[in-house]
Structure 1
Amino acid sequence: MKSLFNTSKILSFILAFLLLSASGCKKIEDLLTFKIDDSSSFVVPASGLLNTTVLSLPGTTVNSSSSGTYSANNTNADHVQDVTLDRLTLTVTDPAGQNFDFLKSVKIYIASDNQGTNKTLLASLDPVPTGQTAINLTPSGAKLDLYLRNGSYSLFTDVTMAQPVRQNTTVRADSRFNVKAKLK
């Protein structure tokens, strides 16, 4: 009889544990984590600017892949809870053989419109290493939910020149964002 009573207690404990575990897993499942990858290009114009000259480039509109990524993850922009930049890589794409030796530092800002009325620092790098055709910027750590809720956003770039640029230089910006969202 005593053995039956202990077995019953053990079974009750296991059942309670399983129920609590299942409800905890449901809460974890409700919060999705995934990545959004976007890419855009901008041009650093040829100039005879002297060292330490800061050049603010016009805004570049990025048509984000966020809407499609949200849909593929069974969520939407209204359920996004936390977006941060994971990585931002700049790569010289034209002219061939050009590297980033012309830059001393770079800062990239994100805004929800092309006027830059609500710019937030996205990432930066100072100093820019020499001899590199691709560089990884340091994310600012800013919360970016506002910017990734729409289908597009704008990037604004400030560069401090290390030397004059002899010809227009095209740079591709590849960004990857970490996203946490709820299921819809």
Structure 2
Amino acid sequence: MKQLQLAVFVLLAFFGTSCDKVDDLLTFYINQEETIRVESNFPIGIVTPLSPIPVTTNSEETFKNNKTRAELVKDVSLNKLTLTIADPAGENFDFLRSIEIYLSSDKGGETRIAYLDEVPKGLKSIELKSTNAKLDQYIKGETYTIRTKAVIGKPITRDISIKAAMRFKVTADPI
């Protein structure tokens, strides 16, 4: 009986490991970089949306380069989102109290993809927390829009440009 239990355990471990390896073979990443602009007249202390940023995905080409098609993509999620001050050179995120990033599309709906409730002081680059939301509809589509909500903690005397580097994890079914 113990041999049978051991055999079942080995088979389950093999199939569990094999499935993970197959998923790894069918997983790739899409990197997207956009610039968010915070204007000097931004209100302090209230949640305020920044100007939306339209994004063209070029997903068909990306899927083709990774030997898959949109209809075979089964899961897309945000793997990483890093914000870095691009301009002015000496600025850091001390002006920012909290931030949320959303994706939306013409097909309806908006999804919160990342956030940081308390922005640490003194940093020029911050990594937001992913919500692990399912983002297939946005990445498979031709376009989507990035929208940002922010709470500013202190006055901004000049416009600030922030580079948003996003990495999406894509897993597809085999062809």
User: TM-score range, shorter-chain basis?
Assistant: 0.7 to 0.9
Shift of 1:68: 2.7
Any idea what SS the aligned residue of 2:128 has?
A: strand
In the alignment, the residues of structure 2 paired with residue 56 and residue 134 of structure 1 have an alpha-carbon distance, to the nearest angstrom, of 21
Aligned mates of 1:168, 1:149 — CA distance in 2: 33
| Match of residue 90 from structure 1 | 83
Q: 1:141 and 1:29 mapped to 2: Cα distance?
A: 17
Q: Does 1:134 align with 2:131?
A: no
Shift of 1:54: 1.8
TM-score, normalised to structure 1, is 0.78
- Tell me, yes or no, if the aligned pair for 1:74 and 1:183 is still in contact at 8 Å: no
Letter aligned with residue 33 of structure 1: T
Question: Secondary structure at 1:148's aligned position in 2?
Answer: helix
Deviation at residue 48 of structure 1 after TM alignment:
6.2
1:59 equivalent in structure 2: 52
Q: CA deviation at 1:130?
A: 0.7
Q: 2:154 aligns with which of 144, 155, 163?
A: 163
Distance 2:149 2:157 in 1: 18
Corresponding residue pairs, total: 160
d(CA) in 2 for partners of 1:90 and 1:133? Answer: 8
CA RMSD, Structure 1 to Structure 2 (Å): 2.5
Give 1:14-163 correspondences, 5 Å limit. Answer: 28=22, 32-47=26-41, 49-50=43-44, 52-113=45-106, 117-163=108-154
- Quote the offset at 1:131 in angstroms: 0.8
Q: After TM superposition, give the deviation of residue 183 of structure 1 in Å.
A: 3.5
1:5 corresponds to: none
Q: Indicate the structure (1 or 2) with the bigger Cα radius of gyration.
A: 1
In structure 1, stretches of 5+ residues that fail to align are: 1-16
Report the alpha carbon displacement of residue 77 of structure 1 after superposing the two structures with TM.
1.2
How far is 1:177 from its partner?
0.8
Distance across 2 between alignment mates of 1:94 and 1:101: 14
Is the alpha carbon distance of 1:29 and 1:81 closer, same or farther for their aligned partners in structure 2, counting shifts above 3 Å? Answer: closer
Q: Structure 1 runs of 4+ off > 2 angstroms?
A: 27-31, 63-69
Greater shift after overlay, 153-162 or 53-62? 53-62
SS in 2 for 1:58: coil
Question: Is this contact kept in 2: 1:111–1:154, CA < 8 A?
Answer: yes
**What amino acid sits opposite 2:64 in the alignment?**
S
Aligned-partner residue type, residue 166 of structure 1:
T
SS in 1 for 2:94: helix
